[in-house]
Each structure stands twice: as structure tokens, then as C-alpha cells.
């Protein structure tokens, strides 16, 4: 049986892939699990690596930007710009996707910080940059 967490992750990855298609990007999902990037997308001839995080955003809540680790296993590590270009934060309740550029050493991000990032605007600005 598939875990609820795996189903939620897949749901959010599909939503991000759909949003990428709306932006004229071509999304690719890994065939095998365990990849650092949940989605790789081609946008304007460049490949971008995206990690998807699912949550219901609430005031005061922070989104954890780390790989691995849970309440039983405290070992985790932060994503780096060498691995991931963007983190897509999906608000499951509203179906909104925020795209946050990956920054070195960032362990979490607040709702206020996330709110400054829009979907199309972020990809449009960054696609002209060197990281995409």
C-alpha cells in the first residue's frame, strides 16, 4: 500500500508539472525514486531542477528546506544550489504554487518570505539569469 505522504508528494509534483506546462516549460519526472530533484524542466532551452514541498501555509509556520530526516531520524541536510535551482512550495488547501530560488545554507523559509515569490514572475526573472 502506498503511504499518504507519498500520495501527497505525487499530487503536489503533478500540480507543479501542470503549472510548468502552463508556462510553456516541459517537465520531466524521475522514473526511479530517491532523486534530489522532484522535477527537471526545460524552459527556454535551459534545464532547471525543482524540489517540491507540500504544505498548508499558516501564519508563523516555516517550510523546512532540508532533505531527509524526520521525528525518528534526525539526520538531514540542506539542499544546495549545486543540487536544486528552485524549491516549489505548494499550498495544498489553496492549490497555489510559490517558486523560491535555492540559497546556500537556508534551512527553512517563513510564510512572509514565501509570499514575495510568484510563480510566473519568478521563473520569468530567473530564466534570463545564469542559473537556469
Cβ-in-10-Å burial (0-12, 13-18, 19+) of 2 comes to exposed
57: its cell numbers: 501555509
State pLDDT tens for residues 94-122. Answer: 778 888 888 776 767 766 666 666 554 44
The residue among 108, 2, 124 whose CA lies nearest residue 53 is 108
128 has pLDDT over 50: no
71 has pLDDT over 90: no
Q: Which of 31-40, 71-80, 121-130 has the highest mean pLDDT?
A: 31-40
State pLDDT tens for residues 29-70. Answer: 988 877 889 999 998 899 999 999 887 766 666 676 666 544
Domains of the chain, start order: 4-127 (3.40.1350.10)
Amino acid at each position: 500500500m502506498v503511504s499518504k505522504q507519498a500520495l501527497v508528494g505525487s499530487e503536489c509534483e503533478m500540480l507543479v508539472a501542470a503549472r510548468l506546462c502552463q508556462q510553456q516549460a516541459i517537465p520531466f519526472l524521475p522514473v526511479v525514486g530517491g532523486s534530489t530533484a522532484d522535477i527537471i524542466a526545460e524552459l527556454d532551452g535551459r534545464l532547471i531542477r525543482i524540489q517540491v514541498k507540500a504544505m498548508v501555509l499558516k501564519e508563523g509556520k516555516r517550510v523546512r528546506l532540508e532533505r531527509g530526516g524526520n521525528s525518528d531520524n534526525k539526520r538531514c541536510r540542506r539542499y544546495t544550489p549545486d543540487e536544486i535551482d528552485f524549491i516549489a512550495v505548494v499550498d495544498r488547501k489553496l492549490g497555489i504554487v510559490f517558486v523560491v530560488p535555492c540559497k546556500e545554507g537556508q534551512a527553512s523559509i517563513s510564510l512572509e518570505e514565501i509570499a514575495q515569490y510568484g510563480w510566473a514572475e519568478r521563473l520569468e526573472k530567473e530564466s534570463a539569469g545564469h542559473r537556469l
